[in-house]
Amino acid sequence: MIPPALSIGYQGVPGAYSEEALQAFAPHARRLPHRTLPDLFAALQDRAIDRAFVPIENSHAGSVVDAYDLLLDHAVTIEAEWIHPVHHCLLGLPGAALDDVERVFSHPQALAQTQTYVRSAGFRSEAYYDTAGAAQMVAEEQDRRYAAVAGRLAAEKYGLAVLADGIQTSADNATRFFLLAPEDGQPAEMPGEGEGRTTLVFSVAHRPGALVRALTCFARRGVNLNRLESRPSRRSPWEYMFFTDIEGYASQPQVAAALRELDRLYPPVRILGSYPAAHLPEGVTT
């Protein structure tokens, strides 16, 4: 249960999908918008907000790579995860028709998730920093040729009409979010009922078989990997950091043993968080 007094920041202007997801995750928390992900992480680092609610991956468009890079740069702890179904709409001015629309604006992730519809309709897609920001721009420009891919919350906030509903390419489209807290020296474990998940980041030696050796630490103990994502370390060319999600809490014996072995092989291993695994929304499959 998230306390009502907790201030949680999200990326985007009011009406963004992140706000819609945050409203479902923590309906009583104070929701504070931030224009970009770097702005959001900076606010958390400066303690201007209590927590940050960050999109980390989409089931069809893939990783939000900026979020992974920012996780490397900031001392944060993952306290929870949330998986939210994405329902895209085409928003235009009241009274506009589909035949009026020429240009469609939205965040690149949203455009990727609706590209089949946008292309088949013959619209020209143009990237914008935020879904709800695109809706706000369409409302301000008052040009019937402009439309935005965003959610119904954005339509309500900016007085736009839903010209087309459910335009996402896949019906089981969903986005995974992390709830981040400032790291205070020790990575927090947030136990709860049901299964746990642990997220960590590590690097390996640049030689054949190094990654296989690292992953064997988990396989030997029957610890399942849910995700492995590589990002440039930015310390030296062609060196990578590996973000890994594993099943189980870090304190569970088999997980703890695997983490100790990995840390002996390739120190340091950074545990970003150990938290209850989110439930999949209805209609979304693994």
* 114 among known catalytic residues: no
Rg, C-alpha atoms of the chain: 20
- What is the sign, positive or negative, of the torsion defined by CA atoms of 91, 97, 99, 100? negative
Segments in the chain forming alpha helices (H): 17-25, 37-45, 65-73, 108-113, 115-120, 131-141, 152-158, 210-219, 253-265
DSSP assignment string, 166-233: ---S-TT-EEEEEEEEE--SS--B---SS-EEEEEEE---SSTTHHHHHHHHHHTTTPPEEEEEEEE-
185 sits in the region (left: phi over 0; alpha: psi -120 to 50; else beta) called left
Tell me the C-alpha distance between 269 and 202, whole Å: 5
Residue 267 one-letter amino acid: P
8 A C-beta contact, residue 85 and residue 281: yes
Nearest residue to 45 via CA among 6, 9, 94? 9
175 is catalytic: yes
- Catalytic residue chosen out of the listed positions 177, 178, 202, 243: 177
Which position among 175, 198, 199, 244 bears the catalytic label? 175
Picking from 144, 158, 165, the residue whose alpha carbon sits closest to that of residue 97 is 144
Alpha-carbon span 278 to 197, nearest angstrom: 9
Cis ω before 268 (30° cut-off from 0): yes
CA triple 151-13-176, angle to 5 deg: 60
Task: Give catalytic residues, as residue numbers.
Answer: 175, 177
